[in-house]
Chains A and B, each alone.
Chain A
């Protein structure tokens, strides 16, 4: 089976999934609150508490198991980034601490950093893979934000995968003409990106022009307000979901460390 590139992994993990699961039915505002709360509680610095937050999120993930598959893909995509942070931290600690270096403390810090990334990735995956951008726009519009600005976000989510896919085609076209990115030093490789970068920018600009035309023809921005064909309703399940998460997080954060 062909392997996905890093970008393809990230794209797959964070793109909306059209299957219907528990989180697809949850109000986007509730999911957004959950994601913000989850990222906010990562401020705790106790390993046990972080582990408990991780367990809570794993239990929540069981309500829609496919998220775990996406999470694994996302972490695979982020693996280089995570590894770079860990290596950087270790090197800095070695340089600064010298002989006073506490290995246990250093390891614990790295484990905590990794747990934080995993939890944040889970919250993000759950939110983006089960919420359409249109739902996010509606949710935020109801919170008073202007829809014309919010659509920039939709367009980014819609077009980033297309731009990556186009970049792949451009890369293939240039490789077929003998371009070898794998050879040469760093500067030479950076220079070799020009044949990929310029066609990508040109094609993206043409795409953007087409999109502007289409949006004009569909009356985008005709009015400051807009209607939504499926108005959001904050249900009891949404309230229950948020309340349960909030109480659980509060009890973890407020429980004194043993």
Chain B
């Protein structure tokens, strides 16, 4: 009998009506007490693997599966999902969709009640998990009023109430802000190291996660690598996947054994920076982004307040200017008011007090359709806008709605510029995540608004797609467009040549200015519940931030390499 926590033997799986496998000949063994991370590109079969481990595939999805899958000794392909209830805890993607009940306490009790646990036992377990996760204060809260991070913890609490031996999480970091990510990972680490739970995390955001893993598996339909995280990351880098910036830095300056933790990297970075002439690094002159924006103000926000029904203050006295050619990032934790602010830029929301001027037009006196001609907004979830039969028609809908008539040539040209022309006749729902994201951008770019606003553009996409997105944004800037993005993805921000960061917290602007000032101000970032990008944090820890302020691994590597060349 098999007694490892998880074992897959030669698993191949085809979704119904598909001719190419989603997973091919995958064999994987996870022992009890491991903390294993499964990474890989989008579309590489990570979520499919999760669903197979949980018995959802093939029992709910159908399709053709060959091979054997054992969880805690149970053949889940034969026995079905119910055979592992209580043995395995699972938090799937979009935890909000997994919450069944209205009260947190009732949600945690739900599974235990289904499996006929006694009331006394259930109450005891509820108390244990609430205390263990530090969320006792949420006990009587309604689930639909919780923040993204809180929902994630409640979903985790609900899974842990069974006291499972194995915990499986599918992309748990996708919708969390940086502080939420750190909190969740420290909980998972505690569960693994203190309580002995076997943790399996399927995730492609490795910057914060990699240091906790005992093993890292890289999956792209097949298992490409399975081993020690440091080596796996070197391999990931070759594949163009997301790796912690500190790993990228060390790979750029030397070949072997990059540290995974900042603490381990600090000493070495200090040593490398020891002989640098601090005077030579006058901050503003040493980086490449000195792109000039014009003085023409395209959006002016004056003392903007927005009150939601019920009187909750979502925005409090915001002042902001966006000039032509600017690349601005609005940064803040979930709930900081970023989306509410950008919804004022095209008049979707009207100010409760104060005003917003778009190309001199007061948004209170103009319709969304009028303002949208100047400001194109790309929302976070592309699925919120697709309804046509094909990608081409989707783009043409915007053209027609915006009063440009039916111009297929123009629509095809924008699809081509985003490398989507071969997919023009395909349904938007048949496209991959990255293609859907590009199509959403295409359907805004097609009518050539002067300002393009993106809401959390990197949510749910992997590193290569992020870099693809960055290229698109840079291309827009080169064409003289103005780009504003609302994000909590600080690592993407560190890669993007933004000229202004607007830091928001609880509906207020805490700071706005050069990213090298804002992203190096640990005090301000903490106040906004945002963690700094890894390289600024590393440089600050090394005590070098007074004379150099690189934002990403490439910038710091070039400084170090420059110093190495000079010192011979």
Contact = CB atoms under 8 A, between A and B. Distances in A.
A178 B98 contact: no
A213 B92 contact: yes
Given A227-B116, A228-B113, A202 B383 contact: yes
Interface in A176-195: 176-180, 194-195
Contact of B118 (A174, A177, A227): A227
A158 B97 contact: no
Contact of A226 (B113, B158, B444): B113
Interface stretch (A89-97, A217-225, A241-249): A217-225
B223 interface: no
B378 to A, nearest CB: 8
Contacts of A210: 92-94, 97-98
B363 interface: no
B494 to A, nearest CB: 28
Nearest to A207: B97
Contacts of B368: 175-176, 180
15 contacts: A2-B349, A2-B350, A15-B144, A16-B102, A18-B142, A177-B397, A177-B444, A179-B401, A199-B383, A199-B384, A206-B97, A214-B98, A217-B111, A229-B113, A229-B122
A154 interface: yes
A225 B116 contact: yes
A133 B102 contact: yes
Interface in B344-367: 346, 348-350, 352, 367
B114 A219 contact: yes
Give the residue among B92, B93, B106, B349 with the most A Cβ atoms within 10 A.
Answer: B106
B126 interface: yes
Contacts of A229: 105-106, 109, 112-113, 119, 122-123, 126
A52 interface: no
Contact of A223 (B114, B141, B387): B114
Contacts of B384: 166, 169-170, 173, 199, 203
B475 interface: no
A225 B114 CA distance: 8
A54 to B, nearest CB: 27
B385 A177 contact: yes
A143 to B, nearest CB: 18
Interface in B58-84: 60, 81-82
A157 B99 CA distance: 12
A195 B401 CA distance: 12
A172 B144 CA distance: 21
B115 A219 contact: yes
Given A178-B369, A226-B113, 18 more contacts: A16-B103, A18-B141, A132-B102, A161-B144, A170-B385, A172-B343, A176-B348, A176-B376, A177-B443, A178-B400, A195-B385, A199-B386, A207-B97, A210-B97, A214-B98, A215-B100, A218-B158, A231-B119
B54 interface: yes
B16 interface: no
Given A175-B348, A176-B368, A217-B81, A1 B401 contact: no
A236 interface: no
A134 B114 CA distance: 13
A2 B401 CA distance: 26
Interface string B280-313: 0000000000000000000000000011111100
A66 interface: no
B346 A176 contact: yes
Q: Interface size class for chain B?
A: 35 or more
Of B98, B158, B349, which is in contact with the most chain A CB atoms at under 10 Å from its CB? B98
Contacts of B100: 151, 154-155, 158, 211, 214-215, 218, 220
Contacts of A231: 119
Contacts of A132: 101-103, 106
Contacts of A215: 100
B385 A18 contact: no
A89 B141 CA distance: 44
Contacts of B81: 216-217
Interface string B227-248: 0000000000000000000000
Closest 7 CB pairs of A and B: A178-B401, A214-B98, A218-B111, A210-B97, A198-B387, A229-B122, A219-B85
B110 interface: yes
Interface string A131-172: 011100000000000000001001101100110001001101
A3 interface: yes
Contacts of B386: 198-199, 202
B141 A222 contact: no
Nearest to A228: B113
